[in-house]
Structure 1
Amino acid sequence: MAKTDLLTTDAIKISDSEWEVMRVLWTLGEADAQQIADVLGQRMDWKLATVKTLLGRLVKKAAVRTEPSGKKYIYFPQVGEEETLQSATENLFSRICAKKVGSAITDLVTEAQLTATDIAMIQLALAKKTPVAEIQCNCIPGQCECREHQK
């Protein structure tokens, strides 16, 4: 399946374990459950039954599609890695105080191993940003320590 044939959606939410299965499918392009279990068995110590359960969930979420091949199924990613990562990032930032997004990004950059190309890309993105005077808190009262919620 060509990369351009993948569905793009931000509605699909996948668990950490499902991410591991998707990483294998994004790398291989297609695989049967045993191939995925072989790859993840080395890293995650998962059995075939675990992989099949996760694949079933991903099929129900329309993140993966299947095609029969003899007595087994071949699994194909239906969502792209970049789009899924974008959705996960948006989901993460929607769950924290808007005033803390900058420090969260700083923490990510500080903790990540980055190449010179990565750093240049980040610097270029920052150079294109126009700062705002103030960020409005998006928390419910009691969720954060913003002045506007300390009443």
Structure 2
Amino acid sequence: MDLIMTPAEWKIMRIIWTKGQAQSSTVVEVIQDDWSASTVKTLLARLVKKQVLTTTRVGRSFVYHPAISETTAMKQTASALFENLCATKQGLVLADLLANLTLSQKDLADLQNIIQEKLPTAPTKVDCNCLDQTAICSCS
């Protein structure tokens, strides 16, 4: 599954992940200041089509269930972003994210451990992956 969600779809999914499951009326109630009921239902239908949500019919309404965990969705989205970046600039982007995110001490300690583990086997330089190997690239 190639997971690409819009910011609006992420907002809907975060509600459903938080609640575990939800009827469309519950989602509408939570987000009523942002969108109309018809917009929410359109977004829910898109997420079902993308196979991110499943539905169960209960009486006259549908209950929406996440088909993918929030952690899996975040990892897939982050991986897809970094696959589209020049390999020589991924470290810069990651460093900028770290500098600007609020992280717990545990998160930072975990990151330090990962860096310490990767450091001995890390290459001295990452090769550009923007163009084929014979092209001249100004990324480095």
**In the alignment, what sits opposite 2:17?**
26
Paired residues in the alignment total: 135
Question: Relative contact order, CA 8 A, sep 6+: which one is greater?
Answer: 1
Alpha-carbon offset, residue 25 of structure 1: 0.9
Q: Distance in 2 between matches of 1:137 and 1:110?
A: 24
* Aligned-pair identity (%): 34
User: Secondary structure at the residue paired with 1:79?
Assistant: coil
Alpha-carbon offset, residue 12 of structure 1: 2.4
Alpha-carbon offset, residue 131 of structure 1: 1.7
Alpha-carbon offset, residue 140 of structure 1: 3.2
Q: Distance in 2 between matches of 1:11 and 1:24?
A: 21
Alpha-carbon offset, residue 123 of structure 1: 0.8
Superposition TM-score, scaled by structure 2 size: 0.89
Alpha-carbon offset, residue 40 of structure 1: 2.1
Structure 2: which 5+ residue stretches go unaligned?
none
Q: C-alpha offsets along residues 48-80 of structure 1, whole Å, 9 cap, x if unaligned?
A: 111101100010111101011111100000011
Q: Do the aligned residues in 1 keep the contact of 2:51 with 2:67 (CA within 8 Å)?
A: yes
User: Secondary structure at the residue paired with 1:65?
Assistant: strand
RMSD between aligned residues: 1.7
Q: Distance in 2 between matches of 1:86 and 1:140?
A: 26
Moved more, 96-105 or 122-131: 122-131
Q: Distance in 2 between matches of 1:140 and 1:16?
A: 30
Written as runs of structure 1 = structure 2, the 5 A alignment for 1:18-97 is: 18-42=9-33, 45-97=34-86
Superposition TM-score, scaled by structure 1 size: 0.83
Match of 2:107 among 96, 118, 124: 118
